[in-house]
Amino acid sequence: MSSCVESSAPQHISITPLLRRLWPSPGENKVTADEIALAIAHIFTDQLSSVQTGALLTCLHFTGWDRRPDVIAKCAAAMRDAASQIDRVALDKVVKARGKPEGNYHGGLCDIVGTGGDSHHTFNISTTSSILASSLLLLSKHGNRASTSKSGSADLLTSTLPTAPNLTAVTPETIARVYERSNYAFLFAPVFHPGMKYVAPIRRELGWRTIFNLLGPLANPVEGNIEARIIGVARRDIGPVFAEALKMSGARKAMVVCGEEDLDEISCAGRTYCWNLIDRSTSQDESTHNIGVESFTISPSDFGLPTHELKDVSPGKEPHENAAILTSLLRNQLPTDDPILEFVLMNTAALFVVSGICEADSSDMGHGDDGKVITERGPGGGRWKEGVRRARWAIQSGEAWKQWRAFVEFSLFIYFQELFSIHQCYAILLWLGNRRSESAEAIESMGQLFILARVEATIPHERSGARDKMYLLPRLTNICTWPIGGRFISSWLRILGDTNRRLQLAYRIYVN
């Protein structure tokens, strides 16, 4: 019995020799970035003991090794290699089909993210900006729950009304399907980086920031498809380091930003330091690039916007309160000069500029677009005001809300497909249609099943015939219009009680 227990225990690797060589100083160059990356890779497979993992993270932090661009780039690559692998062929196919090239934007995926840890507790700017940007770009927002603030990106999104997305439904297997329905996808870090569970408790106990706080923005699982990105850092000295790490990782369109208040976003209160990757190649050969880094500062006035104090955009509220602000913003219910709105507009505009879409000399975004391109250029040669024009259109046209709702609906559809068979979902709809007066709250909570009406081809008609189809579709239409409860799953389970028994009963009624 004891031998079985011993054989099932993880086989730990000792990195003591590496730890001894790390301590003197990074300047002595006794260790290579590859060696450090290999040690980090062992963490994701649970091959390091908690003691040695803690020692490694402490060593990297206090010696400064974790702030070297080659170390960051190599460790980020190791983290991506350890992630759950995506079907690249399927993703490439859907990105090529869905992306809409415009200006110097080629239709690839984009991301906007911050390292966090700036202690300002501002509103969830990058998350909101990512949704706005999905009106014109394909967005791949990679994020997690809060670690240093009250409301992380995942906390915010799972608190949205009228209903929240199911973030765990977006997986390596379903990500391509998500982009078939929406320009937006949120990649929940625990789903794509399962190996992080081995280091999470150690990071909490250490009590200081580790290299993983810097790796997150570079560990997007769809890295190979990322065309453009903005990364916010919470310290000015990290800016050029990150820019160099991006270069080493093969990035061509990227900008690292740091507000002068040590803010990991473009600041609405004053200057922002920027490190922009630019391609200085003169050759037409796509395989050769000479990527350089240009540094400059930018201010709200460059976007044609006023300044706002950080206290005006730092509600410090709980996730559900920030989610209410997000919904109001996306539905164009905030005043046009609202501080949070203008903060979001600046950061969205910056991503539009970096993507290259603002280089288009004509504009036909759709309903509400006046077509008047703002060609004025500001610091770094960017059309920052044109970016704001496009960001305002994303809200006023309803396109950002449309892309967000498409993501929410399809994430829930995937969830229900995994939870129940299509026959069971069909039975639930019939059951709810018959019992509306007796369980109105349940009906509201289950209202999300209206998405099945949009994929009618998946509804089995072989047993239903024309009569049942005529019975079902009006009820699907009704469900579309019912008010939807907030946290619908918990509410539904509470009301229905023994869910399996109810499902079996409803299903028997249907098949008989």
Query: How does pLDDT run across 36-53, given as a tens digit for each residue?
Result: 999 999 999 999 999 999
Strand order in the sheet with 109-114: 184-188, 138-143, 109-114, 226-232, 253-259, 272-279, 291-298
Q: Which amino acid is at 116?
A: G
pLDDT of residue 419: 63
Query: Per 3-state DSSP, what percentage of the chain is helix, strand, and coil (rounded to 5)?
Result: 55, 10, 35
CA distances from 381 to 112, 182, 253, 378, 407 (A): 20, 31, 14, 5, 34
Instruction: Indicate the domain borders of the chain.
Output: 2-82, 88-399, 420-511
pLDDT of residue 283: 57
**CATH architecture label of 88-399:** 3-Layer(aba) Sandwich (3.40)
Contact of 256 with 274, CB cutoff 8 Å: yes
pTM: 0.82
pLDDT of residue 446: 44
Distance in angstroms (rounded) separating the CA atoms of residues 78 and 460: 45
Q: Which of 323, 283, 369, 363 is nearest to 152 (CA)?
A: 323
Query: How does pLDDT run across 168-184, given as a tens digit for each residue?
Result: 999 999 999 999 999 99
CA distances from 14 to 217, 241, 252, 334 (A): 29, 30, 38, 56
Low-confidence ranges of the chain (pLDDT < 50): 1-8, 429-512
Query: How does pLDDT run across 85-141, given as a tens digit for each residue?
Result: 999 999 999 999 999 999 999 999 999 999 876 566 778 999 999 999 999 999 999
- Contact partners, residue 60, CB within 8 Å, separation at least 6: 22, 36, 66, 71, 210, 211
Residue with tokens 């960051």: 72
Residue 366 CA, chain-centre distance (Å), reads 25
- 398 conformational bin, left if phi > 0, alpha if psi -120 to 50, beta if neither: left
2-82 to CATH, choices 1.20.970, 2.30.29, 2.40.128, 3.40.1180: 1.20.970
